[in-house]
Structure 1
Amino acid sequence: MSSSLQQVGLAVKRLQWQHHRKANRRLAPLGLSLVQWDTLRHLHAIPGASLHRLAELTFQTDQSMGELARRMVDRGLIERIEGPGRKVQHQLTPAGDELRLAGAEAVDGVLAESLGRLSAGERETLHELLLKAAEPQ
């Protein structure tokens, strides 16, 4: 029996939604939401990222990312730094990096409960297939 495109799409969405809800619950004691942790994660990988780039990476609008970043600056998790010209860049603070690491443990726990049930080979195949399906046309 073959799965329809809609069934596959719904299964992907259901797993993503499950991860999102559980991650937000596990990050809450740290004072973080999933999008805040994701922002910290991306700033660790790309120090000096612009708000626009962070918005793209975290699936936010520029406006919502600007408000989120402002709150994170106020909390001392990230800081704005001068970039070339008028460009404003962002970087992690030590407090933000500590929360990034603590949040990574929480998110890894969520992912281990679902994706961890797959063998290493199955995870690799799933990753390859998701990347292939997401390729721009």
Structure 2
Amino acid sequence: MRYAIEDVGLLIKRAQHRHHREIDASLATIGVSLVQWSALREIDRNPGASMHRLAELSFNSDQAFGTLMARLLRIGLIERLQGPGRVAHHRLTPNGTDLLRKGRRLVTKVLASSFASLDEEERDALGTLLAKLLA
């Protein structure tokens, strides 16, 4: 079957939208949103990263990410560490680490269900094609 390029783009967007809705609903059961969990994941994956870089990695504007960080600080999921000069770094608190771990199990479950109709070879091919597209 041949797909028009517009249709391929729309299929990718629909898959992403479905994942976001289902993951957000699943994460809500542990009291965190996908946006918050994504920030926790990127802080954990990228120790010492700037707020700007963390905003990029979590698909946020700098302003939105700053507001998000303030909320995560206020509810005790991250802590701010002073670096040299005005540089600040962030890391997860034990509560943030626990929430990230619980959330990862939920996210993995949603994605496993979503991709269940693809066998391992098809998932690898899809991953290869998407990585090539984004390179």
The TM tier, using the shorter chain, reads over 0.9
1:58 corresponds to which letter in structure 2? S
1:112 corresponds to which letter in structure 2? A
Contact 1:47/1:92 (8 A) holds in 2: no
Q: The residue matched to 1:30 in structure 2 has which SS?
A: coil
The answer to whether structure 1 residue 40 and structure 2 residue 40 are counterparts is: yes
Q: What pairs up with 1:45-124 in 2 under 5 angstroms?
A: 45-124=45-124
> 1:49 and 1:98 mapped to 2: Cα distance?
21
Q: Percent identity?
A: 47
Q: What is the CA-CA distance between 1:69 and the residue it aligns to?
A: 0.4
Q: Deviations over 1:7-31 (max 9, x none)?
A: 1111100000000000110001211
Aligned length: 135
Q: Which runs of 5+ in 1 are unaligned?
A: none
User: What TM-score comes out, normalization by structure 1 length?
Assistant: 0.94
Taking only aligned residues, the RMSD between alpha carbons, in angstroms, comes to: 1.0
In structure 1, the partner of 2:128 is 128
User: What TM-score comes out, normalization by structure 2 length?
Assistant: 0.96
Q: The residue matched to 2:116 in structure 1 has which SS?
A: helix
Q: Which runs of 5+ in 2 are unaligned?
A: none
